[in-house]
Amino acid sequence: MTPDDFRRHGYALIDWLASYMERVGDLPVQSRLAPGEIRDMLPDHAPEDPEDFEEIAADLDRIVVPGLTNWVSPGWFAFFPAATSGPGILGELVSAGLGQQGMLWATSPVCTELENVMADWMADLLGLPARWKTTDQGGGVMQQTASDAVHTALVVAREEAGRCGAAADRCVAYTSSQAHSSVEKGARVAGYRHVRLIDVDDAYAMRIDALQEAVRKDRAAGLEPAFACSAVGTTGTTAVDPVRAVGELSRQAGMWHHVDAAYAGNAMLCPEFRHHQDGLELADSYTVNPYKWTPMTFDGSLFYVADRRPLIRTLSILPEYLRNTSSESGQVIDYRDWHVALGRRFRSLKLWFVLRYYGAAALRSRIRDSVAWARAFADRLDEDPRFELVAPVPFALVCFRHRAGNRATESLGEAVNRSGHSFLTPSRMGETAFLRVSIGQMNTREEHVERLWRLVGKEAAPLL
């Protein structure tokens, strides 16, 4: 494709994307296709001869759009958001076009240093400890998702325990029973034989007494407590674990303390929410996903460490073909040593675009609006005798159920999702079924939350 052809087709695709953004609110949030329908639209084999780009682009409307789950719909209230925005998309476009491979400072100085600065900007905006910045003894790196971040933390914790004489098969990882599944999966991948899911209190936060008892029992059994993860905003209900208490216990027990704030960490842009993560100075690592509640496009998880030396000590392997004078000078950061992968994308470019285009004040305003709409939605549920809240609402996730029971709750969720206007996710806590309403998609406005409320009320009526 020549530069002139690229320019022509690129302009056409930007127009197509802009049109999609304009009409996404009129599309059903979930695809209406049955399993296998998309495959049936595609040929069995790759083409031998080139096709016109216009034909390729036409298949976006014919094949791709009907098969989309429209995560950018204003009616998106499921899971947590995976945001997108014009500046974020354009940042991704430029990143792809520049074709940078940022494994070393030498392979892309700007990829490395812009990421250094973006991590530090975000550390300041989120009120993180000063020593977590790249200008101090810690630092931040953009990984793919929080799953990659927790896996990295688990590997470092295992290796640090090993340096103290603990065999890998005796290492134990602890996390809340409500923690994201990536903690348990990451522990498996990292080779932990022992993972303890700690009981929670009535607000679904980890019980520190239960953690203390689990650590005591494992020590008595000859095992080595190596890793503890506390959550600031669990996936199920956005419960907040006692970060300071877990940090203090981790220090006493010699464990690595990781804080998973993948979603709710974004709320720390607003100082009034920072009490939820009191005790961060006792944490060894921390992760937040800007794409879950800011206009930065998926993917990109910020992973911070209080001290980068254990991280680099664990993950640095230097073959001859990667040696270079810049790295050996000790004056640069080589991000290949900060995660499992060698190759890495120019992710920081889209964050740079977003922060400069919107400004921090607009991001704070968006967080506050989402929380206000969520709390207003929760108040209406609380006042309606048909519904009950099943968890507190510290951020912008509302968890509720129909008082008629589990079947009525599940039927209500199915009816709302069937409407095509809104999409929310069902969940369970023990034997209790409930529905999650996650407010924060970048295209969602108060009117869309109001429409969801009317839909919930309408579909709940026949279930009494």
Residues 138-153: pLDDT tens digits?
999 999 999 999 999 9
What beta strand segments (E) does 342-448 contain?
Answer: 387-389, 397-402, 425-429, 432-438
User: Which stretches of 296-347 are DSSP H helices?
Assistant: 308-315, 325-328
Convert the pLDDT of each residue in 51-68 to its tens digit.
999 999 999 999 999 999
Class level of CATH domain 3-68: mainly alpha
Element (H, E) at 386: none
Contacts of 103 (CB under 8 A, 6+ apart): 322, 334, 335, 336, 342, 343, 344
Instruction: Determine how many CB atoms are found less than 10 A away from the CB of residue 53.
Output: 15
164 pLDDT above the threshold of 90 = no
pLDDT tier, 168 (very low <50, low <70, confident <90, very high otherwise): confident
Task: Look at residue 409 in the predicted model and tell me its pLDDT.
Answer: 97
Measured CA to CA, the distance from residue 353 to residue 239 in angstroms comes to: 32
Contacts of 209 (CB under 8 A, 6+ apart): none
- What region, left, alpha or beta, does residue 426 occupy, with left being phi > 0 and alpha being psi -120 to 50 degrees? beta
Task: Look at residue 64 in the predicted model and tell me its pLDDT.
Answer: 98
Convert the pLDDT of each residue in 114-124 to its tens digit.
999 999 999 99
Task: Look at residue 463 in the predicted model and tell me its pLDDT.
Answer: 79
Residue 60: exposure state from Cβ atoms within 10 A (0-12, 13-18, ≥19) = middle
Closest CA to 142 of 358, 330, 299: 299
Closest CA to 404 of 423, 380, 385: 385
Contacts of 328 (CB under 8 A, 6+ apart): none
pLDDT tier, 288 (very low <50, low <70, confident <90, very high otherwise): very high
Task: Look at residue 181 in the predicted model and tell me its pLDDT.
Answer: 94
163 pLDDT above the threshold of 90 = no
Class level of CATH domain 360-463: alpha beta
Residue 337: exposure state from Cβ atoms within 10 A (0-12, 13-18, ≥19) = buried
Task: Look at residue 435 in the predicted model and tell me its pLDDT.
Answer: 99
Element (H, E) at 147: helix 146-163
- Token pair in block for residue 158: 């295992």
Task: Look at residue 53 in the predicted model and tell me its pLDDT.
Answer: 97
Buried b / exposed e along 370-393 (16+ C-beta atoms within 10 A): bbebbbbbbebbeeeebbeebbbb
Measured CA to CA, the distance from residue 193 to residue 237 in angstroms comes to: 28
Crossing angle of the two packed helices 348-358 and 360-383, in degrees rounded to 10:
80
Task: Look at residue 165 in the predicted model and tell me its pLDDT.
Answer: 74
- What is the average pLDDT across 273-299? 97
pLDDT tier, 236 (very low <50, low <70, confident <90, very high otherwise): very high
Task: Look at residue 145 in the predicted model and tell me its pLDDT.
Answer: 95
Convert the pLDDT of each residue in 337-365 to its tens digit.
999 999 999 999 999 999 999 999 999 99
Closest CA to 428 of 206, 196, 182, 235: 235
Measured CA to CA, the distance from residue 174 to residue 306 in angstroms comes to: 20
Looking up tokens 């296998």 gives 36
Task: Look at residue 3 in the predicted model and tell me its pLDDT.
Answer: 96
Q: Give domain 93-358's CATH architecture.
A: 3-Layer(aba) Sandwich (3.40)
132 pLDDT above the threshold of 80 = yes
- What is the average pLDDT across 298-321? 96
- What is the average pLDDT across 223-252? 98
- Token pair in block for residue 66: 């009907």
Task: Look at residue 128 in the predicted model and tell me its pLDDT.
Answer: 98
Closest CA to 264 of 127, 444, 426, 394: 394
The full length of the chain comes to 464
Sign of CA dihedral 225, 227, 228, 234: negative
Q: Is the distance from CB of 112 to CB of 334 less than 8 angstroms?
A: yes
Measured CA to CA, the distance from residue 362 to residue 364 in angstroms comes to: 5
* DSSP annotation string for 216-280: HHHHHTT-EEEEEEEEBS-TTT--B--HHHHHHHHHHHT-EEEEE-TTGGGGGGSGGGGGGGTTG
Convert the pLDDT of each residue in 183-202 to its tens digit.
999 999 999 999 999 999 99
Q: Is the distance from CB of 42 to CB of 461 less than 8 angstroms?
A: no
pLDDT tier, 166 (very low <50, low <70, confident <90, very high otherwise): confident
Average pLDDT, the chain: 96
Q: Is the distance from CB of 226 to CB of 173 less than 8 angstroms?
A: yes
Q: Measuring CA to CA, how many Å separate 131 from each of 89, 98, 115, 284, 304?
A: 32, 32, 17, 11, 10
pLDDT tier, 310 (very low <50, low <70, confident <90, very high otherwise): very high
Residue 82: exposure state from Cβ atoms within 10 A (0-12, 13-18, ≥19) = middle
Helix (H, G, I), strand (E, B) or coil at 303: strand
**In the chain, where are the structural domains located?**
3-68, 93-358, 360-463
Instruction: Determine how many CB atoms are found less than 10 A away from the CB of residue 71.
Output: 17
Looking up tokens 């709302």 gives 416
